[in-house]
Chain A
Amino acid sequence: MISAHLPALQVVVPLIAAPLCVILRRGTWTWALALLVSWASLAISVVLLGQVLDDGPLSYAFGGWEPPWGIEYRVDVLNAYVLLIVSVVGAVVLPFARRSVLEEIPESQHSLFYASFLLCLTGLLGVTITGDAFNLFVFLEISSLSSYVLISLGRDRRALHAAFQYLILGTIGATFIVIGIGMLYMATGTLNMADLAARLPFVDESRTVLVSFAFITVGATLKLALFPLHFWLPNAYAYAPSAVTAFLAATATKVGVYILLRFFFTVYSFDFPLKAITLQGMLMPLSVIAVLVASTVAIFERNVKRMLAYSSVAQIGYMILGLSFMSVTGVTAGILHIFNHALMKGGMFLALGCIVLRLGSVELDQLRGVGRRMPLTMFAFVLGGFGLIGIPLTSGFVSKWYLILGAVEGDHWLIAVAMLFSSLLALIYVWRVVEVAYLQAPPEGAKAEEAPLSMLIPTWVLIGANVYFGIETSLSVGVAQTAAELLLDVGLGTSP
């Protein structure tokens, strides 16, 4: 009867494997264990998504304590989807990590690296799967603390500073969330999300609840790096080891978006007084600004990793913008972009990891002629870039289609125009790299050397998926749409 325990195993397997990594000590063994665990997680999340799509939401009572008294793991279409995203990225990044980590991190720290990696995976999966608000905070801290460690392992000394910066801001964010959760507990006496959702309508007007909403909103937007709370992100991404950047960029902020979605659309009832104001009055303008400002900053970045980091800030803007439309199309676009962006940005950061391996740097000037020296890597980067721009037949186009459709449906014409304009900003920052890589001669004496297959294959898996989900969208859009309908229905059955 192992299948009944899958929700628990999803989190427990990587959690137990993490200390085992430390015990094993030897780099290769720990890597093999981590790889095995990440693939097991992927298998579990695939099965879970299948079950949820077939039979509706699953509830798992930890230790046999029935909810709302015990901790409940609750899997519905939305978090099964996010679980899949996180575990796919983990399973793809780990094979890549072997060579990249050998190159970038001293041998003695390898077991610690893989242990932290698995802890981070545990945390992210835990945040996503749990149906208990306080448990969510605990897992959030597990993922955050381990990601501070992972970032600080970067070989540039500035990684320490970046990790510290993230530590301070991440802690503030998590603290805000826990304060908010504490207030919810004060007002309702429960921590179970479904139970909270049932009880909150009766205490909607209470100041405690209103304040808790504010705290959770700010905390979550800090964790997901919405402009102007994004300052920790570019440095953290730029100086972390390549594999870590790819993993975090594709998962950590996405889980942040999930937290926001979960609280906004499941925990707080649909006509919660502050929600529409927060979404349409605050998050909508902020996300538009995020898209425009961060894309513009990306244009002027000389370091390609930082450039992509700013691009991530912009892309997070797209997700939040989708939510702020408060319509099925808009929320679908937001959820869909969580998935699509994980593929393209993960793939692009992996491509950069390949370049770091061969060139030692991703400063724009160093990339001259790299299109000829590393054709497969660079072409993967370009295809990912097409996704960021929103060229048809990449997943980015599909996201943009739904996002702009959401804007047009809601009569937000100016926003639709702004989003299309931002595609052009993306075109500029992507094409800067393309021109340098393809239209400039490589420096004298440079050897043509493609990255090893163990790194190329993971890169192309994500980039290939980016193209595949731009052509065949019944899975990605179908699930996102189901999740969006579920979220908007749960909120007292009406959508505006």
Chain B
Amino acid sequence: MTAETKIILSLLLPSLGALLISLCGRRPNLRETVTIITAALLFGNVLLLLPEVANGARPVVNLSLVQIFPDVPIKLEVEPLGMMFAVIASGLWIVNSLYSIGYMRGNQEQNQTRFYVCFAIALASTMGVAFAGNMLTLFIFYEALTLSTYPLVTHKGTEDAKAGGRVYLGILLSTSIGLLLLGVLATWNIAGTLDFVPGGILEGKASEAVVGLLLFLYMFGIGKAALMPIHRWLPSAMVAPTPVSALLHAVAVVKAGVFTVLKVTVYIFGVDFLGQTGLSDWVAYIAAATILLASLVAMTKDNLKARLAYSTVSQLSYVVLGAMLASTLGVIGGGMHIAMHAVGKITLFFCAGAIYVATHKTEISEMTGIGRSMPITMFAFFLGSLSIIGLPPFGGSWSKWYLALGAAETGQILLVAVLMISSLLNVAYLMPIVARAFFLPPPEGDGTAAVGIREAPMFCVVPLSITALGCLALFFYADAVYDFLTLLVTPQG
């Protein structure tokens, strides 16, 4: 199988999966089997691409069947960052599919077929974003991802879901059409190409003012990166069932955003060019402000998913900050953080969903003493939290380390301080949940204490244990990720 076939397959597999799932709608067991097999095949297929890319190859496929504009081909190209994103998204899809079975059935949700179909389409779009070979292709899949997740966000069909869906679609589409598309068109007009070229395509072609404008259009046009003040869609998306929040709004969709930010930084602007102009500083400050403000907002949220959502907003800005440092270390740190945060945050969401399935509790204040009845879940939550905070021996510590190093290297002491303060804030909003669950006695008359251990179904508990252990494992394999990502800045090495 050539690399080209594998690239095409990684888009085709989830699409075919979606088709098969919709055909198996009447038979839930078969349907879920199809989902899991599709996810496994996709993951295997993506892994097969890995060795080649790790050797410095960047296989390209021109989709010549699709020709929207004569001069801008639709093409796919696998480079290290996209490779990593694809591995994470497809790998976590397997775990998430198992978890979905437990969650959706445990809650007796409606329209499950539509749920799994949209999920598979969303994954196909994610693969498209990860492997996009130029900005137009990326934009198309970016929009497809927004639209395919809309039915998932509004899954419950309630007034709340409708309102959440409006904000979700409104912000994501208006930023992408209003700003990002304009940025892409302006780039095309200035540079005459939309290809991803190491070192960027804008150097020497535009004045500093224009580059600054483009940077604004891109950074706020990529709404999925959730820079303040366009982050509102992410908390709104929390009305979705938890598996959606877990895989899409902690991994695929939001990471597609920060992934695009990194891609644009490295391949459109160029790290060196951006560093020379110094234009990225103000975006870095906005990212820093987002990190702190979102953490502060997270502390005020009693709803567990809302708190996690604001935590995600904050953590996403780490990646944006890394990109905007416009240095090699910053970009690598940002790239690593995509991986580390994904595994940590999906664990936390899995736990939130497991608590909901087992006890139907959504507010943190109701979760007093819950560690006694759900010890595995809450322990996994503890591990995930530590990784998010960035303590060793968990994966999150490495990405924060490189980000801080990158900030120090560029002399941005203020930004280093922000990263440190943010870690403290993470402790402040995550640890109380764990402490409350384990150390406080359950309230009288709740009945929880009497029941003893009452975990969520196995389909929920096993996946969250896997990802929690994943946080630990990533600590020890971080150097592999690091080495892989250095290919990004030293191409064909």
Contact = CB atoms under 8 A, between A and B. Distances in A.
Interface of A: 386, 389-393, 397-398, 401, 404-405, 408-409, 416-417, 420-421, 423-424, 427, 431, 435, 439, 470-474, 477-478
28 contacts: A389-B177, A391-B143, A392-B68, A392-B140, A393-B140, A398-B68, A401-B68, A401-B69, A404-B182, A404-B185, A408-B182, A408-B186, A409-B189, A420-B177, A420-B179, A424-B170, A424-B177, A427-B169, A427-B177, A431-B166, A435-B162, A439-B154, A439-B162, A471-B66, A472-B68, A473-B68, A473-B70, A474-B70
Interface string B44-88: 000000000000000000000111111000000000000000000
Question: What DSSP secondary structure best describes chain B's contact surface?
Answer: helix
Given A389-B173, A420-B177, A420-B182, 15 more contacts: A391-B147, A392-B139, A401-B69, A404-B181, A404-B182, A408-B186, A420-B179, A423-B178, A427-B173, A427-B174, A435-B162, A439-B157, A439-B165, A472-B65, A472-B66
B188 interface: yes
Nearest to A398: B68
Most buried by B among A389, A398, A470, A471: A471
A470 B68 contact: yes
Interface of B: 65-70, 139-140, 143-144, 147, 154, 157, 161-162, 165-166, 169-170, 173-174, 177-179, 181-182, 185-186, 188-189
Contacts of B170: 424, 427
Nearest to A470: B68
Contacts of B174: 424, 427
- By CB atoms of chain A within 10 A, which of B67, B68, B70, B169 has the most? B68
A421 B178 CA distance: 6
Contacts of B144: 392-393
Contact of B182 (A416, A471, A474, A478): A416
A397 B177 CA distance: 10
Nearest to B68: A473
Given A401-B69, A439-B162, A471-B66, A420 B143 contact: no
B181 A431 contact: no
A431 B188 contact: no
Contacts of B165: 435, 439
B478 to A, nearest CB: 37
A416 B183 CA distance: 11
Nearest to B72: A401
A416 to B, nearest CB: 6
B489 to A, nearest CB: 30
Contact of B67 (A392, A401, A473): A473
A409 B185 CA distance: 10
Contact of B68 (A421, A471, A478): A471
Nearest to B186: A408
Contacts of B182: 404, 408, 416-417, 420
A391 B174 CA distance: 11
Contacts of A393: 68, 140, 144
Contacts of B67: 471-474
Nearest to B162: A439
Contacts of A427: 169-170, 173-174, 177
B178 A420 contact: yes
Contacts of B181: 404, 420
B153 to A, nearest CB: 11
Contacts of B69: 398, 401, 473, 477
Contacts of A389: 173, 177
Contact of B189 (A408, A421, A423): A408
Contact of A424 (B139, B154, B162, B178): B178
Contacts of A408: 182, 185-186, 189
B68 A431 contact: no
A65 B173 CA distance: 58
Contacts of B166: 431, 435
Contacts of A424: 170, 173-174, 177-178
A431 B189 contact: no
Given A392-B140, A439-B162, A423 B177 contact: yes
The 3 closest A-B pairs by CB, nearest first: A392-B140, A420-B178, A424-B174
B22 to A, nearest CB: 12
Nearest to B178: A420
Contacts of A390: 177
Nearest to A419: B182
A477 B70 contact: yes
B113 to A, nearest CB: 13
A405 B147 contact: no
Nearest to A478: B70
Contacts of B157: 439
A195 B73 CA distance: 43
A326 to B, nearest CB: 17
Contact of A392 (B65, B143, B188): B143
Contacts of A471: 66-68
Nearest to B213: A413
B39 to A, nearest CB: 25
Nearest to A402: B69
A423 B165 CA distance: 18
Contacts of B169: 427, 431
Contacts of B185: 401, 404-405, 408, 416
A479 to B, nearest CB: 13
A415 to B, nearest CB: 11
Contacts of A431: 166, 169
B402 to A, nearest CB: 35
Contacts of B178: 417, 420-421, 423-424
Contacts of A416: 182, 185
A405 B189 contact: yes
Nearest to A405: B185
A309 to B, nearest CB: 23
Nearest to B174: A424
A404 B188 CA distance: 12
A423 B140 CA distance: 16
Contacts of B139: 392
Contacts of A435: 162, 165-166
Contacts of A439: 154, 157, 161-162, 165
Contacts of A417: 178, 182
Most buried by A among B70, B178, B185: B185
Contacts of A404: 181-182, 185
A478 B169 CA distance: 33
Contacts of B177: 389-390, 420, 423-424, 427
A301 B45 CA distance: 50
B128 to A, nearest CB: 11
B405 to A, nearest CB: 39
B235 to A, nearest CB: 20
A431 B162 CA distance: 11
B281 to A, nearest CB: 24
Q: Which of A392, A408, A417: most chain B Cβ within 10 A? A: A392
A18 to B, nearest CB: 40
Nearest to A435: B162
Nearest to A469: B68
B72 to A, nearest CB: 9
Contacts of A420: 177-179, 181-182
Nearest to A409: B189
Contacts of B66: 471-472
A404 B169 CA distance: 22
B440 to A, nearest CB: 40
A252 to B, nearest CB: 29
A465 B400 CA distance: 50
Nearest to B151: A438
A439 B111 CA distance: 12
Contacts of A392: 68, 139-140, 143-144
A144 B170 CA distance: 41
Contacts of B143: 391-392
A442 to B, nearest CB: 12
A392 B181 CA distance: 10
A324 B169 CA distance: 32
